[in-house]
Amino acid sequence: MAKIYFSSWNGRVIDDRAKEPHRRLETTELNLPEKLKNQPVRALIGWGGLVIVDPKINIVQALKLYFEQVQEESCGRCVPCRVGSRVIAEKLGRLVSGKGTALDLQVLTRLGHLVKDCSLCQLGQTSPVPLLEALKYFEPDFKACLENGGSVAENLHFQSLLTTPCQNGCPAHIDIYKYIGAIGEGRYREALAVIRDKTPLVGTLGRVCVHPCEDNCRRGLVDEPLSIRVLKRFVADEESRWGAASPPVGPVRKRGKVAVIGSGPAGLNAAYHLAGKGYAVTIFEALPVAGGMLAVGIPAYRLPREILKAEIDLVRSRGVTIKLNTRVGDELPLEQLWEEGFGAIFIATGLHRSSSMRVDGEEAGYRGFIPGVEFLRRINLGEPIELGERVAVIGGGNVAMDCARSSLRLGAREVNLVYRRSRAEMPANEEEIIAAEKEGVSYHLLANPVSILAENNRVVGMECIRMKLGEPDSSGRRRPVPVEGSEFVMEVDTIVPAIGQVADLTFLGENSGVGISRWGLIEAEPINMATARPGIFAGGDVVLGARTVIEAVATGNRAAEAIDNYLSCGKGAPNSKVALEHFIEQVGVFNPDEKISMLGGKKRQAEEARPVSERLTGFSEVELGFKSPVEAVCEAERCAFCLSLGVVITELRGGENCENS
């Protein structure tokens, strides 16, 4: 394991320079991965300070490289950052070359404090931190340069990444600060282009994304986080005012054929990017509609079908072919795809089966028992459902909320949501929990089904038992434990279990070479999404389990880069930027304990919503976005542009950089 030689990251000093190597703390203490693209990490320099792994690192040379990158990224809007960082880089260069003076060291200290205290944005305020830490703890290294210069390492290799806490929290690493800045200045087309550089599903994500970026917003440490999701939706909705422009298409290079199995968010994003790189992409979709769970798993009141259709058409406009009603494994064996000339396959089939509750009567085939995934699919495909007046939905996640809220819209007089833990443990988004309650869903918490009751092959009720919370389980939530003798009966006409989803992997066959985990998911590398079978990649829920749309988008993007490398040079290596983003994501940029001097009190703009009295008459969209561009601009202006720069230094090795951009 890699050991920490010295660290001053986020104010925590670990000085193990005097210790024997085997007695030093491991890099895992700081969530610092040991390698970047299989190259050992020698140092990390950035917004949080210094982390030195290799004692042979010339700290002065490393800081010179870092400040050269600061110069590259500085916007130039304030003098302290733009000019100060340039002078710092020049002074460090003089020291490394042996031309520095004692006065240069004094200037570096003064300049470091000046840039830190007087810059207007986070980049300028944090960039001097590693310099000031180095001057404090590595003074002999600086003084040694005055006489002989620095011992420059010829094989020193570095990669830099400019990010923000919100962008670091976004699984797809969308350039959030760029599109928010463009919105704030009224450059809506540019903002839309920034997001579409990562995904075509702008309007979709603007509606259904669970916005982990907002949990990482530093503004939230002062008053309220930015409404990042709604700003994304705003630029997508605004496009209808201008008239959609033809999307930019990659050069036509006829670089080969790629098969994508599944047209959900992972498949759509992989196809979108691969087509932009010049590949002929065909998506094979078993359903009669494209979109995967976006189309058949999310109700129209959350994601209007015309929005999704327009964004799928955007993927098609890049030359992607989508073959509907085509199930790989039945009429089209997986191995036949190779015979048809596809050079790579991306599997993104999602989770289209419901998990079993394992209760008496579940497998009896009673009318009125409809698994949650099937329930939503039938609604979204326009198939009739006989609900009766009383519905019980089992579960506490977003699928359960969708089933419960949809039941009300289908005319159920009473909808009960039964969940075996307390409200605090519900995995659903808080917004969904509140919305369901406002619309009339009744919560029965700390209860769990025991058996399904039926008469004449028709559901008439459900026996449940009260639960209490015990010790935490593997999920970190307290384990529900049955309370003996607390059974009760709930009279219902329809039962909809929505406790989880599972994959159908029968299409793989027995000799596919693709690994399957004990959870029934496809095993794939987390950065390049490669499976054990060369040429086959996988992503989305079929790899991650039941997760979020934005996480599926991220896997599709990573797979596209890796497939491009695989077809270009035979190695499914991850793109350098993708690998670095993953590295920095593990380190973490957001510090929830940070004390911020920013002035607060600027109110977050509220999203307009349809009144509850109007919602249950059909599946019209509930959340309506901002009322006007004025609100969007006001919200964008709340952004503090918390830019953070990190430089990771590794040892350059030949033959590992097969990458085609």
Do both 14 and 158 map to the same domain?
yes
Q: Does residue 441 lie within any of the structural domains?
A: yes
Residue 154 has which token pair?
Answer: 């010829």
Write out the residue range of the structural domain in which residue 55 sits: 6-164+643-651
In the predicted model, what is the mean pLDDT of the chain?
91
State residue 655's pLDDT score. Answer: 45
Contact 625, 237 (CB under 8 A): yes
Q: Is residue 118 part of a domain?
A: yes
- Are 232 and 304 within one domain? no
Asked if 559 and 528 touch (Cβ cutoff 8 Å), the reply is: yes
Give a yes or no: residue 368 inside a domain.
Answer: no
CA distance linking residue 529 with residue 347, whole number of Å: 10
Answer yes or no: is pLDDT of 597 > 90: no
pLDDT at 577 over 70: yes
Q: Does residue 112 belong to any structural domain of this protein?
A: yes
Q: What is the mean pLDDT of residues 108-132?
A: 92
Q: Which H or E element spans position 14?
A: strand 14-15
Instruction: State whether 549 and 607 are in the same domain.
Output: no
Domain boundary among 558, 573, 588: 573
Tell me: do 22 and 137 sit in the same domain. Answer: yes
pLDDT for residue 661: 43
On whether both 647 and 627 belong to a single domain, the answer is no
Name the CA dihedral angle for 264, 269, 271, 274, rounded to a multiple of 10 degrees.
-160
What's the CA gap between 461 and 391, in Å, rounded? 10
| Residues 104, 60 share a domain | yes
Q: How many domains, in total, are found in the chain? A: 4
pLDDT band at 311 (very low <50, low <70, confident <90, very high): very high
Q: Are residues 160 and 192 located together in one domain of the fold? A: no
The pLDDT tens digits of the residues spanning 235-278 come to 999 987 776 555 555 555 567 999 999 999 999 999 999 999 99
Q: Are 361 and 450 in contact (CB under 8 A)?
A: no
d(Cα 465, Cα 447) in Å, to the nearest integer? 6
Asked, for residue 110, whether it belongs to a domain, the answer is: yes
Q: Supply the pTM of this predicted model.
A: 0.93
Listed residue (599, 607, 609, 605) closest to 633, CA to CA = 605
pLDDT single digits (tens) 363-387: 999 999 999 999 999 999 999 999 9
Last residue of one domain, picked from the residues 573, 589, 606: 573
Q: Are 464 and 512 part of one and the same domain?
A: no
Q: 94-104: per-residue pLDDT in tens?
A: 888 888 888 98
> Which helix H or strand E contains 468, and what residues bound it?
strand 458-472
The pLDDT of residue 451 is 96
Within a domain: 476: yes
Confidence at residue 537, expressed as pLDDT on a 0 to 100 scale: 98
Nearest-angstrom CA–CA distance, 392 and 107 = 71
Residue 162, classed as helix, strand or coil, is strand
- What CATH number does the domain containing 435 carry? 3.50.50.60
